[in-house]
Amino acid sequence: MNVGIIGAGPRGVILASQLLNQYKYKSSQTNDLTVTLFDPYGIGGRVWRKDQWSGLIMNTPADQITLFTDASVNMSAKVFDGPSLFEWSSSAEAQTYLKDNNYPEEIMTAADNLSGNDYAPRILYGAYINWFYGELQSQCPVQASIELVKSEVIDLKYDSNQQLLVKTDEQRYQFDSVVMSLGQQDNYLNDEEQQLATYAQDNNLTYISPTHPGDADLSKLPAGEPIIIRGLGLSFYDYVSELTLGRGGSYMKNSDGSLSYQPSGREPRIIAGSRRGIPYYPKAISEKGYGEQTQPVFLTDENMDKASIDGKLPFSEFLRLLQLDLELVYYRLLINQKFPNENASEFQERFVKSDNRPALLAAFGFQEEDIFDWDYIVNPFKDVQIIRTEDYQTVLVNWLARIMPDAEAGSKTGPTSSALELLRDFRPVFRKLIADNRFSNADYVNEFLGQFNSVISFLSVGAPVLRSEQLSALIRSGVVTILAPGMQLKTQNGWYVTAAPKRNTDVFKSASLLEARVPKPDLDITANPLLESLVDQGLARIKTLRVDNQDVGLAAVDVQVNSDQLVNQEGARQESLYIWGVPLEGLRFATNASPRPGVNDINLQTADKIAATILGLKPADNVAMN
């Protein structure tokens, strides 16, 4: 049997692992198994490759990253156990591997000094993926083989015998089954982006369109000159780090624990903003142990059933139950912090049963400033209206000064940060809620995808708190200026011009504009030639939902929901063609997360099920699909 896997990032590699594992221990087939991975960037894929700035770090602690299965995973194959990224990095084997494969000295040092709750360099994760692939090769069953083709797949089609033909620029390959394990892909520029790019060409300006920060050429951004960055999420922190630390700047610890920035003189002057006008909340220092994942007290199947109307959970009820879970964690920890004589367990018991929670809070001594205010957390500057840009920097620095100590206290200690940590812990709950079709189509499209997804990103997928400390120092040093909420951008007299006109009259212009966001997965505008080819042939289609008597596209590729087999234009399942991961975002939730040990990880479940199905074996029951 010949199986092709398109994409050699974490998902592609763990799928190859499960194919080999299923074949080795469970398959009674007499045919040999050949697994071929395709990726122009090699093993590890685009995001984790070796040739990028070593200062780019991951967004998940090192001890919460794995490629191996464990006893918690709902799967049919035998467990293929091994070290997490942290455990591997701290081993002598890792040092030998890094040295033998010519990784930079700073990566070897980072690996040697890595703690479990540290955020590893992305290059180091790429090294771990490559080492894991080497382990697969060395342990490959006698009648199986695995190989890498370092090329981009540009076309895929069926031949007259219903075999799958995969085409690269150099060669054609024939397979019995193909799995597309694609990560984030480039998109065609939208109308506004194309106008900005054309304007750059016509006026000798620099425009960097949405892409992965490791791919962007920042060499054209001049030192000492203003540049505009649009976006204040994860990519913003990556770009700011590259343009400061990456250009020789450094930080010094002050006596009060804060940081001061020491410029190199090679930095540009960064003018940044977004519609929200606030950088993402910092990610707390992780205090979690192996497999530790908080379960909901309020957002349970039982409570969702009770709150449902005609079988559907109103979004307002979902948000109410979720907020109660966040409040419970917040108040329990605030009791430990401010009211050591009160009993947090007693508070929890009464909070869960109470029908008058404001009175309960008052009885425990909580003051107005202690109250968990969801609206304020989502929009901490909702009362900030007319304000000069200079004054807004003070507001931002003060806000960072308030939230950073909470994040530094830890993900099980800081009341606010620990409450927001639930938004990550509850990912399986959100995924199951979506899989169970609990929302009406209108609520799912308009509320969950249209509004709540953005809120989740803002609150729970920010950069490590260290990046917030650095940003505060950069703002105070004048290297970075953040616009007030409501950033607008236009072209004028040969410049890019930006302002926040609803807040002030300050205007900034620059010859350089950087879009600080990665392209969103969207089958309608993808620039991936393989996906384009599948759509053109009618082999793939976008997932749609019926909302208010209209078909609304989710941007996701449509698949058979219980198998991830691709659905064609006519709605038929294609038995031998699979796609999973990032291209399903919208149909699924948080598809870009790497596998985590000890928590019945959804990526590991999905890889095992797809592998079993391809080999004609019985998969595990009740598998949650990525």
Least confident range of 116-120, 382-386, 437-441:
382-386
How far apart, in whole angstroms, are the C-alpha atoms of residue 304 and residue 317? Answer: 8
Q: Is residue 428 assigned to a domain?
A: yes
- Locus of tokens 């907020």: 323
How far apart, in whole angstroms, are the C-alpha atoms of residue 69 and residue 85? Answer: 13
Same domain assignment for residues 255 and 160: no
CA end-to-end distance (rounded Å), the chain: 25
**Considering 483, 515, 547, which residue would you say is the last residue of a domain?**
515
**Considering 448, 480, 515, which residue would you say is the last residue of a domain?**
515
307-320 per-position pLDDT tens digit: 999 999 999 999 99
DSSP 141: -
pLDDT reported for residue 456: 97
Phi, psi of 38 (to 5 degrees): -120, 130
Same domain assignment for residues 448 and 416: yes
Same domain assignment for residues 120 and 169: yes
Coil, helix or strand for 228?
A: strand
Phi, psi of 284 (to 5 degrees): -70, 155
pLDDT at 558 over 70: yes
Same domain assignment for residues 127 and 257: no
- Locus of tokens 């467990």: 79
Q: Which residues contact 454 (CB under 8 A, 6 or more apart)?
A: none
Same domain assignment for residues 258 and 390: no
Q: Is residue 583 assigned to a domain?
A: yes
Same domain assignment for residues 14 and 103: yes
DSSP 449: I
Q: Is residue 134 assigned to a domain?
A: yes
pLDDT at 30 over 80: no
Same domain assignment for residues 165 and 19: yes
Across the range 347-359, mean pLDDT stands at: 97
pLDDT reported for residue 581: 96
What are the CB-based long-range contacts (under 8 Å, 24+) for 608-611?
A: 608/18, 608/22, 608/69, 608/73, 608/75, 608/76, 608/77, 609/75, 609/76, 609/563, 610/15, 610/18, 610/179, 610/563, 610/564, 610/578, 610/580, 611/15, 611/18, 611/19, 611/21, 611/22, 611/77
Same domain assignment for residues 452 and 473: no
Same domain assignment for residues 10 and 138: yes
**Amino acid code (one letter) for 549:** N
Between the alpha carbon of residue 136 and those of residues 13, 99, 100, 162, 275, the distances in Å are: 9, 20, 18, 30, 46
Same domain assignment for residues 377 and 492: no
Query: Two tokens at 404?
Result: 């950073």
Of the pLDDT bands very low, low, confident and very high (cuts 50, 70, 90), residue 371 is very high
218-233 per-position pLDDT tens digit: 999 999 999 999 999 9
Residues forming a β-bridge with 544: 553
Same domain assignment for residues 78 and 212: no
240-277 per-position pLDDT tens digit: 999 999 999 999 999 999 999 999 999 999 999 999 99
Beta carbons within 10 angstroms of residue 473's beta carbon: 23
Q: Is residue 501 assigned to a domain?
A: yes
Across the range 615-624, mean pLDDT stands at: 94
pLDDT reported for residue 27: 67
- Locus of tokens 């939230």: 403
At what angle are helices 389-409 and 465-477 packed, to 10 degrees?
150
Q: Which residues contact 330 (CB under 8 A, 6 or more apart)?
A: 372, 415, 416, 418, 419
∠ CA 523-525-531, rounded to 5°:
45
Could you tell me which residue, 419 or 162, shows the higher pLDDT? 419
Domain total in the chain: 3
Of the pLDDT bands very low, low, confident and very high (cuts 50, 70, 90), residue 26 is confident
Residue 202's H or E segment, with its range, is helix 191-203
Q: Is residue 594 assigned to a domain?
A: yes
Of the pLDDT bands very low, low, confident and very high (cuts 50, 70, 90), residue 626 is confident
What CATH code is carried by the domain that includes residue 581? 3.50.50
pLDDT at 21 over 90: yes
Across the range 200-208, mean pLDDT stands at: 98
Coil, helix or strand for 133?
A: helix
**Considering 395, 429, 460, which residue would you say is the last residue of a domain?**
460
pLDDT reported for residue 25: 87
Same domain assignment for residues 452 and 493: no
Between the alpha carbon of residue 449 and those of residues 131, 310, 446, 456, the distances in Å are: 37, 22, 6, 10
Between the alpha carbon of residue 472 and those of residues 279, 282, 321, 397, the distances in Å are: 11, 12, 34, 6
Q: Is residue 622 assigned to a domain?
A: no
∠ CA 356-358-364, rounded to 5°:
105
Give the rounded percent of residues in the chain with a pLDDT score beyond 70. Answer: 100
Least confident range of 23-27, 154-158, 464-468, 576-580:
23-27
Q: Is residue 293 assigned to a domain?
A: no
42-92 per-position pLDDT tens digit: 999 999 999 999 999 999 999 999 999 999 999 999 999 999 999 999 999
pLDDT at 487 over 80: yes
Of the pLDDT bands very low, low, confident and very high (cuts 50, 70, 90), residue 41 is very high
Taking the model in full, what pTM does it have? 0.97
The candidate with the shortest Cα–Cα distance to 503, out of 395, 398, 373, 378, is 395
Across the range 191-207, mean pLDDT stands at: 98
Q: Is residue 494 assigned to a domain?
A: yes
Contact 78, 20 (CB under 8 A): no
Across the range 410-417, mean pLDDT stands at: 98
DSSP string, 454-509: HHHHHHHS--BHHHHHHHHHHHHHTSEEEPPSS-EEEEETTEEEEE-TTT---EEE
pLDDT reported for residue 515: 98
pLDDT at 98 over 90: yes
Query: Two tokens at 559?
Result: 């698949």
Across the range 461-474, mean pLDDT stands at: 97
pLDDT reported for residue 304: 98
Domain residues for the domain of 219 are: 191-277+467-515
